[in-house]
Amino acid sequence: MELVRLSGLQRLARAAAVGLALAFAVLPLLWVVSIAVRPGTQAVYPISILPTSLTLDNITGVLFASNGIGLGPYRNAAFYGLSSAVITAVASTLGGYALARYSMRSGEALLIVILALSFLPSASRIVPLFILTSATGLYGTAQAVILAYAAGSIPLGIWLMAGTFRQIPVRLEQAARIDGAGTVLTMRRVVLPLAIPGILVVATLAFIDGWNSFSLPLILIPKAAAQPYTVALQRYIQEIGYGINWPLLSAGSLVALLPVLSVFAILQRRLVRVGGLGGAIRG
Amino acid sequence: MSAGSAEPYEVELAMKLDIEGLTVEYGQVAAVHGLNLTVGHGELVALVGPSGCGKTTTLGFITGFIRPKAGRVLFDGVDVTALAPQRRGIGYVFQDYAIYPHMTVRENIRFPLDAAKKERKQAERDVDEIAGLMGVGNLLARRPHQLSGGQRQRVALARALVKKPVILLLDEPLSNLDAHLRVEVRAEIRRLQLDLKMTTVFVTHDQSEAMAIADRVAVMSDGNIVALTAPATLYTRPPSLFSARFIGSPQINIWATDGPDEALARRVIQPLVRDGGAGLLVGVRPEDVEIGTGELEAVVTLTEPLGRDFLVHLTVGPSSIRVLVPAEEGQHLKLDDNVRMRIEPSRLHLFDAATGRRVEIDAAGARRLDESAQGDGGLAS
C-alpha cells in the first residue's frame, strides 16, 4: 500500500535510488557467481560481467578434486554456526525476557552497554580469546569456537529479544495466570509462541555470523580437519599458488552462499512478520 | 464439578468475597487506604469511580497480582491473600480482553481447562457448551483477529466462565464496545450473572453502567469506598457529596451556604433549618426543580435539547442552576427570559461543608449527621 502518492518524476527518482542501492549490494555477488562458472582462462581477461562460456569445473574442483577442500569444512562451519545459533537463541530468550519483564534499577543502562559491546570489532576479541581458551584447555576444540561465536552473537540477541518480549502485552501473561497456568505453562503456551519470530531472527543472525566467521577460527583452530570453509578456502588458494586463483575462490564462496540464501528464502516471511499479535488487544 | 450432568453450569462454586483493610501504597498503581468490601454469594457489586481512584488496584488485589501493604482477601471465609493468582480459581475479563492471539477461539476457551489438566473430551464438551451459551459456537475455528469487538468480548467471557470460577471479575468489560452494543451486552452480562448466580465484581468509570447492572454500587474516591448501597438509594439519598456529584447526569446542583451562592442556598433551605444553615452544602438534582411557579426569579442563559428533556441553564443573582425541563416546556424558553422557579424542600440534599457527609434535618429543624455515610473530605475533594 502506498502511503504517499508520488509524481512520475519522483517515482523515477525513487527507482533510480533503489536501483543504485541494489547494484551496490548485488553486483559484486553476481560477479562472484559469474567468475565461478566461467573457465579459468577467462577469469581476469577479458573484463566482462557475463561469461562467454559456462563450466562447473571450478566448483567440482574446489569440492571434489584430490587437492580440493571437500565438503568437510562446510560441515564444520555448519556445525559451529548451528550450535552457536542454538546457544544464542536460548541465552538471548532468557536474558531478553528478564530485561523486558523484571524492573531492574539498571536495566535500561545494562541494555545499552550490552548493545555497545556487540559493536566491538571481533578482531579485538581474538587475543583475549586465545589466552582464555589456552588457559582453560579449550584451545583447538569445537567448544572454543562455538562459545566464542555465541558470546559474540548473544549481546545483540538479548537486545532483540528484549524488544520482542516488550511487544507482548503483560496482560496476556496475567490472563494465563488467572486461567490457572503456572510459570512453565504460561511460557510454553503463551509467551514463547508469540516470541518465535524474534527467536528465529536471533538464531538466524547468530548462524550467519558463525558461518561467515574467519578470523576467530583461524586463530582458535589449528587442526585442518576441524577448520570451517572460510579458513580452509584461504589455505587452499594459498597452496595452489600463482597469485590468487579467482575462479576457484569464487566457486568456494558461491558454495558458501547457498546455505545463507536458502535460510533467508525459507524464513523471510517469518523474519519480516514480527509479532502475529493482531487481536490480542482491541483493534 | 459435575462432569456430564444435565445442568453443568449450576455454579454452586460461587463464593463470598471479603476484602479487609486493603492498603496499597503509591507506586505503579493507584493507592488504596484501608478498604473494606464484602460481596455476597451471587451478588454483583459495581466498583465505580474516576480514574486513579483505586478500583483497578482493588481488582489486582483480588487476583493476587498486587501485593498490599496491609489487608486480607477471603473467599468464603478462607484467607487467600498469600495464594498465587493461578491457584485462586478466579474468572477475569480484561478491558482489552487479552485473548491469546495465536490460538483459535476454541483453544482460547479451552486454555483454563488445559491448565487444570482436564480430560480432553470433557474439556471439549465444556467448551462447546459455554461457547453456545455465549453465542460464539460458530466461531470456534476462527482466530482472534477475525473477530469483531463484540465477539472478542464474548470469547473473553466464555474463557472466564468455562472453568466455573469461584468469583468473576470484570474490568471495564464494555468500554471498548460501540455505544449501542454496550447497552445490549450489559444486559446480557447481567442476565448471565443472575442465571449462573456468579459472585461478581464489575469495575467501571461509567456511573450509569454501574447503576444499571449492580445489586450494590460501591463509589470509590481517592483510594477508598465513599458510598456502598443499592443503586436507587445512591441516587435518591446520596450518602456523601462526592457520590451525589458522581452519580446522576446531568450533575446535581450544589450551593454552599457560605460564599458566592450564599443568598440562594440560604433561601432554599430556609423552610428546613432554624440555625440559618451555616457550613452546609445544598444540593438539588436538575429534575427536582419546578419551573413556571414559585417565588424565585431566574434568567435563562442557555437551553440544550437532550431529546425527551431540555437542559436549561438559569441564573439567580450570582448563582447558576441547571434544570431538566420536559421538551414541550423547554422549547418555549428563550435566552434572557425571566422565569419563576420553585424547589420542594423535601427534594434537597444537605451535606456538611467540612466533611462532605450527608446531613439530615429532623422535625425540630436540628441537624443530624447521617451515620451510615462515610465522609469524603467535603469541598476539598
Q: Are A94 and A192 in contact (CB under 8 A)?
A: no
pLDDT tier, A272 (very low <50, low <70, confident <90, very high otherwise): low
A70 or B318, greater pLDDT: B318
| Distance separating alpha carbons of residues A265 and A251, to the nearest angstrom | 21
Burial of A88 (0-12, 13-18, 19+ CB in 10 A): buried
| Distance separating alpha carbons of residues B272 and B264, to the nearest angstrom | 14
**pLDDT over threshold 80, residue B3:** no
pLDDT tier, B315 (very low <50, low <70, confident <90, very high otherwise): very high
pLDDT tier, A94 (very low <50, low <70, confident <90, very high otherwise): very high
Q: Are B306 and B271 in contact (CB under 8 A)?
A: no
Class at the top of the CATH hierarchy for domain A72-272 = mainly alpha
pLDDT tier, A271 (very low <50, low <70, confident <90, very high otherwise): low
**pLDDT over threshold 70, residue A176:** yes
Contacts of A278 in chain B (CB under 8 A): 101, 144-145
Domains of chain A by residue range: 8-58, 72-272
Could you give the angle at the alpha carbon of B43 between the alpha carbons of B39 and B48, nearest 5°? 70
What is the 3-state composition of chain A as percent helix, strand, coil, each rounded to the nearest 5? 75, 0, 25
Domains of chain B by residue range: 17-236, 241-380
- State whether B115 and A180 contact (CB < 8 Å): yes
B167 or A117, greater pLDDT: B167
| Distance separating alpha carbons of residues B211 and B218, to the nearest angstrom | 10
Q: Are B55 and B48 in contact (CB under 8 A)?
A: yes
Query: Considering chain A, what is the average pLDDT of its residues?
Result: 84
Q: How far is CA A254 from CA A147, B90, B187, B312, in A?
A: 27, 60, 68, 83
Neighbours of B25 (CB within 10 A): 12
pLDDT tier, B372 (very low <50, low <70, confident <90, very high otherwise): low
Nearest to A282 among B114, B149, B163 (CB): B149
pLDDT tier, B378 (very low <50, low <70, confident <90, very high otherwise): very low
- DSSP 8-class letter at B365: S
pLDDT tier, A264 (very low <50, low <70, confident <90, very high otherwise): confident
Q: What are the tens digits of pLDDT across the range B57-109?
A: 999 999 999 989 999 999 999 999 999 999 999 999 999 899 999 999 999 99
**Residues, chain B:** 381
pLDDT tier, A61 (very low <50, low <70, confident <90, very high otherwise): confident
Nearest to B90 among A178, A277, A279 (CB): A178
Residue showing cell 572460510? A230
Contacts of B100 in chain A (CB under 8 A): 172, 175-176, 189-190, 280
- State whether B98 and A278 contact (CB < 8 Å): no
Helix axes A107-118, A72-101, angle to 10 degrees: 160
Between the ranges A51-55, A57-61, A94-98, where is the mean pLDDT highest? Answer: A94-98
What CATH number does the domain located at B17-236 have? Answer: 3.40.50.300
Contact residues for A203 (Cβ-Cβ < 8 A; gap 6+): A85, A86, A88, A89
Q: What is the DSSP secondary-structure string of B291-336? A: EEEEEEEEEEEEEEE-SSEEEEEEEETTEEEEEEEEHHHHTT--TT
Contact residues for B264 (Cβ-Cβ < 8 A; gap 6+): B255, B296, B316, B317, B319, B321
Mean pLDDT (whole number) for B151-174: 93
In this prediction, residue B1 carries a pLDDT of 40
| Distance separating alpha carbons of residues B201 and B173, to the nearest angstrom | 11
Q: Is any Cβ of chain A less than 8 angstroms from the Cβ of B366? A: no
Identify the weakest region by mean pLDDT among A45-59, A140-154, B36-50.
A45-59
**Which segments of chain B are extended strands (E)?**
17-24, 32-39, 44-48, 70-75, 78-79, 90-93, 167-171, 200-204, 216-221, 224-229, 253-256, 280-284, 289-305, 309-316, 319-326, 338-343, 349-352, 358-361, 367-369
* CA-closest candidate to residue B342, choices B325, B359, B360, B362: B325
Q: What are the tens digits of pLDDT across the range B165-224?
A: 999 999 999 988 888 888 888 999 999 999 889 999 999 999 999 999 999 999 998 899
Q: What is the fold, at CATH topology level, of the domain defined by B241-380? A: OB fold (Dihydrolipoamide Acetyltransferase, E2P) (2.40.50)
Contacts of B159 in chain A (CB under 8 A): 179
Strand partners, B369: B359
pLDDT tier, A270 (very low <50, low <70, confident <90, very high otherwise): low
In this prediction, residue A282 carries a pLDDT of 33
**pLDDT over threshold 90, residue A192:** yes
In this prediction, residue B212 carries a pLDDT of 92
Pairing type for strands B358-361 and B367-369 reads antiparallel
| Distance separating alpha carbons of residues A96 and A265, to the nearest angstrom | 27
In this prediction, residue A3 carries a pLDDT of 60
Q: Are A77 and A211 in contact (CB under 8 A)?
A: yes
Residue of chain A whose alpha carbon sits nearest to that of B164: A179
In this prediction, residue A261 carries a pLDDT of 85
Q: What are the tens digits of pLDDT across the range B276-301?
A: 788 899 999 999 999 988 888 999 99
| Distance separating alpha carbons of residues A157 and A24, to the nearest angstrom | 28
Contacts of B101 in chain A (CB under 8 A): 172, 194, 276-280
Contact residues for B171 (Cβ-Cβ < 8 A; gap 6+): B56, B59, B92, B93, B94, B95, B203
**pLDDT over threshold 80, residue A50:** no
In this prediction, residue A252 carries a pLDDT of 87
High-pLDDT (> 70) share of chain A, %: 91
Between the ranges A70-79, B38-47, B269-278, where is the mean pLDDT highest? Answer: B38-47
Q: Is any Cβ of chain A less than 8 angstroms from the Cβ of B98? A: yes
Element (H, E) at A257: helix A246-272
- State whether B65 and A175 contact (CB < 8 Å): no
Q: Is any Cβ of chain A less than 8 angstroms from the Cβ of B334? A: no
Tell me the CA end-to-end span of chain A in Å, nearest whole number. 19
- ipTM, interface predicted TM-score of the complex: 0.81
